[in-house]
Amino acid sequence: MSASARRERRATPVKCRTCARPMHSPLFCADCHTLHPADGFDHFDLLGFEPAYDIDDAELRRRYLRVSRDIHPDRHGRAATESAALSLRGSARLNEAYRVLSDPLLRAEYLLEVVGGKSSAQDKSVAPEVLTRTLAAREEIEEARAAGNQATLATCGQQVRQLFDQTAQRIGTLARQLPGAADVRHELRQALNAVKYYQKLLERL
Amino acid sequence: MDERELIVGIDLGTTFSLVAYADESGPHVIRDENGDGRLPSVIGVVPGRDAEKPRITVGWEARDHAVENPRATVYSIKRLIGKSVADVRRELPFLTYAVRSGPRDTLQVEIDGRLYTPEEISAVLLRTLKERAERHLDRPVRKAVITVPAYFDDAQRQATRNAGQAAGLEVVRIVNEPTAAALAYGLGVREQRGPAPPTAQPRARGVALPTPQCYEPLGRATTRASDGQLVAVYDLGGGTFDISILRIEHSVFQVLSTAGDTHLGGDDFDRTLMALITREVRDQFGVSIDAPATRQALRLLTERIKIRLSEQPQADVELDLDSGRFYRRTIQRAEFEAAIAELIERTLTLFAQALRDAELTPAELTRVILVGGSTRIPLVRRRMAEFCGREPYTALNPEEVVAEGAAIQAAILAGAHPDMLLLDVIPLSLGIETMGGAVGKLILRNTTIPCRATEMFTTFVDGQTAIKLNVLQGERELAEDCRSLGEFELRGLPPMPAGIPKVEVEFLVDANGILNVSARELRSGRQAGIQIVPNRGLTRAEVERIAEESIAFAREDITAHRRIDLVNQVAFDATKTEQMLARVGYRLDPAERQRIEDDLAALRRLARDAPDLDELHRALDAFGKSTLHLAEIGIREALAGPGDVGRR
């Protein structure tokens, strides 16, 4: 689906293909109780949000639970019927959408993809200081661990945590500017890549 | 009972199994004539005279004769279901019945020269519960919700579902035990039902704890309606341990994380006592306790000692060692606690892991619920209180609460409680084996189910028509350290040059936590037709056969199974080739076309004449090669055809 078609579609709620009434999620028509496939819709569409970084967490959860109640396999027959299959796939897509949108880092990553930015597979670059910092921190951690130096390990942990928090904050600032200019997207891509290095370090600790 | 369809809830436990149903007044456990809701998960096989079929005993009867009949009494089958012999090697020395390796990595119990799958044995228990429910409700019962430990993997879940089908039940949902327990607490049904009936008093097999009458129901809009409650369910049963952390708000029960061990429970506590007594008897009398009957007696004895030590500070043991010698001993509670301390600490380590995965601290939990008979052990309660910084919660009977929860979930599925919803997670990560034996993770543990992942595959050899995928479940980095769900074989790919097919494989985990694999070839636009053949566990035909036949006759027939597979494949390939000939056959030179038609007829003849299976396999492969040219023409045609096929 082209970006313009996407925008146009978002301007008005998706209408039910069976009864033509507007739906709160493209997955289910609460009026005629019809399930619809998720094909062609992104995570934001499924939960009825504009593609933007800032999202009201409570509202996101409210909508997620509402649509879940509507489409969950517990509600739509257990036999091998078409509606059971739609309910199963739709729920899987919805759960994925909620998982991504409820996590600020995953949401930034996903939004970058939606606005046409590069994926982590296409651009793995990070700012040069990230690599040096990561390598130094890793060495320090290994040494402290070998020496059994808990105090140093704790300090390392704090430092990495701080780097992680700073980068996460920067990601938020950049993601709010999306779709943004090419340099914004590039910096966001690098920050998202960097935060994964810090995440891995935190897992080691 | 209202007009809705009847679905019962079944707790298929390691030591005891229960069946319950729910009506407007709440869930009800269905009891036997002695008022006991528990059916011991034990079956016995009594040999028939002459040509008679063996007689199967179930429950208390089988349990009461366990000592006389140690080799033909099967207990704790839940610890073996969905496992291979290699998986349970550590378990074997404690069993008094014989276990053999079956086909396709399955495990079988051997009694008097007959083989039984764990599914068949579980089916006997399920059928007994089904009949109990039918007698009580005076109507046929065809559908059930069955609970499993949250930490059960895909193979164990499938096997449990198969056991249900073999018992003549449509298993409408597999539900995790701790989640079911949370449901039972959450409804607050106890308020309407009054005090819990005394459990098992007539037989005095176990002692029900006094149940406090008032508690704050979970899941109800309380003072902080929007915040929801964070609840941990600590479920320590006869053979398995689970810990689940749930967020409950607006009648939605969402599992945030789960952890556990499917081989940690009351059985293991008994075994520490068995090991202690066995050692002392050997040291003092030079007698080794390993005759099956003695071991069986010791198993039941240690279980009783364990229960007594939960109520009293010490327990006396007396063991008759024949020829007038007696082993006598007083076991102190402290001694027993020291022996099981390490096992209890393991449960706390798993609890801490579940909290980490849910990004919570013990102090943030609104409530900690204890479920399962083994939570009656004082040490468990003490350590839990220390770990959580508060007293754990056990308002309901810990042995019945899972069955009650299963009955509530059954009512939800039948359309009652339209506001209630249960969102569970997959307990173990799913991945596939990649080059070099590493694991490529597709779905991470604690992902809300249903969930899905897709992955693209292609071929390495020209004309390759099948791709093998090793699907793995577990957290480790190497394939050999994870549990293999079996090699799935994608068959029926149109033969194309290497690297050309684009096969999209979808891994879809349903609300039962069971994986469904489907595939479509995108290049040719062929969506259907790719068959997926898992090579582990029972086949559908086998499950159906168990359901149809009496248990005593059930026998594996791998040859028949393979024949069916091969003949199906022949029919599939032959039809495909015929269609291709009809469409693009005019492009072949007449001699080639004739040759293919002759080969086709020969292959069909071979399949029909019930030949040697290896020969048929070779013929099928040769046919694939001889039609490669035709297939290539067909694909070029399809590729040049209208409409581009691609992924969104």
Least Cα separation, residue A86 to chain B (angstroms): 12
- pLDDT at res. B408: 94
Q: Is A68 on the interface with B (CB under 8 A)?
A: yes
A80: CB partners within 8 A, 6+ apart: none
The answer to whether B188 touches B162, Cβ cutoff 8 Å, is no
Inter-chain touch B448–A99, beta carbons under 8 Å:
yes
| Comparison of pLDDT for B317 and B524, the residue scoring more | B317
The answer to whether B238 touches B76, Cβ cutoff 8 Å, is yes
Pick the last residue of a domain from A63, A85, A102: A102
Query: What are the chain B neighbours of A89 within 8 Å (beta carbons)?
Result: 450, 452, 508
- pLDDT at res. B543: 60
- pLDDT at res. B446: 93
Inter-chain touch B648–A69, beta carbons under 8 Å:
no
Listed by start position, the domains of chain B span 7-264+343-423, 266-341, 426-525, 557-648
Q: Is B450 on the interface with A (CB under 8 A)?
A: yes
One domain for residues A24 and A70: yes
Q: Is A88 on the interface with B (CB under 8 A)?
A: yes
Is B210's pLDDT higher than 80?
A: no
Please name the member of B413, B447, B450 whose beta carbon is closest to the beta carbon of A99.
B447
One domain for residues A98 and A132: no
The answer to whether A68 touches A94, Cβ cutoff 8 Å, is yes
Is B203's pLDDT higher than 60?
A: no
Q: Is A95 on the interface with B (CB under 8 A)?
A: yes
Cα separation values, B252 from A18, B221, B513, B618, Å: 29, 11, 18, 56
Query: Per CATH, which fold does B266-341 belong to?
Result: Actin; Chain A, domain 4 (3.90.640)
Confidence of residue A9 (pLDDT cuts 50, 70, 90): low
Cα–Cα dist B483/B489, whole Å: 17
The one-letter code for the residue type at B285 is F
Residues B573-593 have a mean pLDDT of: 86
- State the residue for tokens 């005759």: B291
Q: Which residues partner with B26 through β-bridges?
A: B23
| Nearest chain A residue (CA) to B249 | A65
| Nearest chain A residue (CA) to B227 | A58
Question: Which residues 252-291 on chain B approach chain A with CB closer than 8 angstroms?
Answer: 252
The one-letter code for the residue type at B519 is A
- pLDDT at res. B81: 92
Inter-chain touch B452–A96, beta carbons under 8 Å:
yes
Query: What are the chain A neighbours of B511 within 8 Å (beta carbons)?
Result: 72-74, 88, 91
Q: Which residues partner with B425 through β-bridges?
A: B448
Interface test with A, best of B252, B257, B420, B441 (most A CBs within 10 A): B252
Interface test with B, best of A91, A93, A102 (most B CBs within 10 A): A91
- pLDDT at res. A37: 87
B557-648 shares the fold of B266-341? no
Query: What are the chain B neighbours of A75 within 8 Å (beta carbons)?
Result: 418
Cα separation values, B489 from B50, B102, B433, B468, B479, Å: 45, 21, 13, 4, 17
| Nearest chain A residue (CA) to B421 | A69
User: Poorest-confidence range of A4-8, B146-150, B446-450?
Assistant: A4-8
| Nearest chain A residue (CA) to B143 | A78
Interface test with B, best of A69, A81, A89, A102 (most B CBs within 10 A): A69
Inter-chain touch B648–A88, beta carbons under 8 Å:
no
Is B223's pLDDT higher than 70?
A: no
The answer to whether B35 touches B13, Cβ cutoff 8 Å, is no
Label residues B196-232 b or e (16+ Cβ within 10 Å = b). bbebbeeeebbebbeeeeebeebbeeeeeeeebbbbb
One domain for residues A98 and A13: yes
One domain for residues A10 and A92: yes
Among residues B251, B180, B149, B184, the alpha carbon closest in space to that of B396 is found at B184
- pLDDT at res. A59: 92
Inter-chain touch B421–A68, beta carbons under 8 Å:
yes
Residues B529-544 have a mean pLDDT of: 59
Interface test with A, best of B227, B423, B430 (most A CBs within 10 A): B423
Mean pLDDT for chain B? Answer: 81
The enclosing domain of A82 has a CATH number of 1.10.287.110
Is B208's pLDDT higher than 80?
A: no
Inter-chain touch B511–A69, beta carbons under 8 Å:
no
pLDDT tens-digit readout, A87-143: 999 999 999 999 999 999 999 999 999 988 888 878 888 888 888 888 888 888 888
Residues B618-638 have a mean pLDDT of: 79
| Nearest chain A residue (CA) to B175 | A74
Interface test with A, best of B421, B512, B515 (most A CBs within 10 A): B421
| Comparison of pLDDT for B37 and B440, the residue scoring more | B37
The rounded Cα B288 to chain-centroid distance in angstroms is 36
Inter-chain touch A95–B252, beta carbons under 8 Å:
no
Asked whether residue A116 is assigned to any structural domain, the reply reads: no
- pLDDT at res. B646: 34
Q: Is B452 on the interface with A (CB under 8 A)?
A: yes
Query: Which runs of consecutive H residues, i.e. helices, occur in chain A?
Result: 3-11, 43-46, 57-71, 82-101, 104-114, 128-147, 150-175, 182-204
Is B484's pLDDT higher than 50?
A: yes
| Comparison of pLDDT for B376 and B418, the residue scoring more | B376
Query: What are the chain A neighbours of B417 within 8 Å (beta carbons)?
Result: none
| Comparison of pLDDT for B485 and B121, the residue scoring more | B121
One domain for residues A16 and A70: yes
Please name the member of B252, B451, B508 whose beta carbon is closest to the beta carbon of A65.
B252
Torsional sign, CA B560, B566, B568, B570: negative
Quick one: what percent of chain B has pLDDT higher than 90? 35
| Nearest chain A residue (CA) to B250 | A65
Give SS3 for B277: helix
Cα separation values, B93 from B118, B138, B319, B344, Å: 18, 43, 21, 22
Cα–Cα dist B137/B153, whole Å: 33
Asked whether residue A119 is assigned to any structural domain, the reply reads: no
Domain that holds residue A65: 3-102
- State the residue for tokens 């090793």: B470
Please name the member of B173, B422, B450 whose beta carbon is closest to the beta carbon of A91.
B450
| Comparison of pLDDT for A41 and B481, the residue scoring more | A41
Inter-chain touch B412–A78, beta carbons under 8 Å:
no
Task: Determine whether B612 is exposed, middle or buried from the number of CB atoms within 10 Å of its CB (0-12, 13-18, 19+).
Answer: exposed
Cα–Cα dist B111/B99, whole Å: 9
One domain for residues A17 and A96: yes
Cα–Cα dist B520/B102, whole Å: 32
Inter-chain touch B511–A91, beta carbons under 8 Å:
yes
Asked whether residue A108 is assigned to any structural domain, the reply reads: no
Query: Per CATH, which fold does B426-525 belong to?
Result: Substrate Binding Domain Of DNAk; Chain A, domain 1 (2.60.34)
One domain for residues A89 and A133: no
Q: Which residues partner with B9 through β-bridges?
A: B20, B145
**Number of independent structural domains in chain A:** 2
Asked whether residue A113 is assigned to any structural domain, the reply reads: no
Of the ranges B87-96, B353-362, B391-400, B462-471, which is most confident? B353-362
ipTM, 2 dp: 0.87
Query: What are the chain B neighbours of A38 within 8 Å (beta carbons)?
Result: none
One domain for residues A88 and A178: no
- pLDDT at res. A79: 57
Q: Is A91 on the interface with B (CB under 8 A)?
A: yes
Confidence of residue A19 (pLDDT cuts 50, 70, 90): confident
Q: Which residues partner with B101 through β-bridges?
A: B107
Residues B604-623 have a mean pLDDT of: 80
Query: Per CATH, which fold does B7-264+343-423 belong to?
Result: Nucleotidyltransferase; domain 5 (3.30.420)
| Nearest chain A residue (CA) to B420 | A69
One domain for residues A89 and A156: no
- pLDDT at res. B1: 45
| Nearest chain B residue (CA) to A42 | B648
Least Cα separation, residue A73 to chain B (angstroms): 7
- pLDDT at res. B4: 63
Query: What are the chain B neighbours of A39 within 8 Å (beta carbons)?
Result: 648
One domain for residues A46 and A96: yes
- pLDDT at res. B519: 79
Query: What are the chain A neighbours of B172 within 8 Å (beta carbons)?
Result: 78
* Residues of B taking part in catalysis: 11, 78, 177, 235
- pLDDT at res. B532: 57
Give SS3 for B38: coil
User: Poorest-confidence range of B278-292, B419-433, B487-501?
Assistant: B487-501
Of the ranges A153-162, B184-193, B264-273, B454-463, which is most confident? B264-273
Asked whether residue A18 is assigned to any structural domain, the reply reads: yes
Cα–Cα dist B228/B248, whole Å: 5
- State the residue for tokens 């604690």: B446
| Comparison of pLDDT for B198 and A66, the residue scoring more | A66
- pLDDT at res. B242: 93
Q: Is B353 on the interface with A (CB under 8 A)?
A: no
Residues A24-44 have a mean pLDDT of: 86
Question: Which residues 87-146 on chain B approach chain A with CB closer than 8 angstroms?
Answer: none
Please name the member of A40, A58, A92 whose beta carbon is closest to the beta carbon of B450.
A92
Pick the last residue of a domain from A85, A102, A119: A102
Quick one: what percent of chain A has pLDDT higher than 70? 92
Does the domain at B557-648 match CATH 1.20.1250.30? Answer given as no
Least Cα separation, residue B286 to chain A (angstroms): 48
Mean pLDDT for chain A? Answer: 85
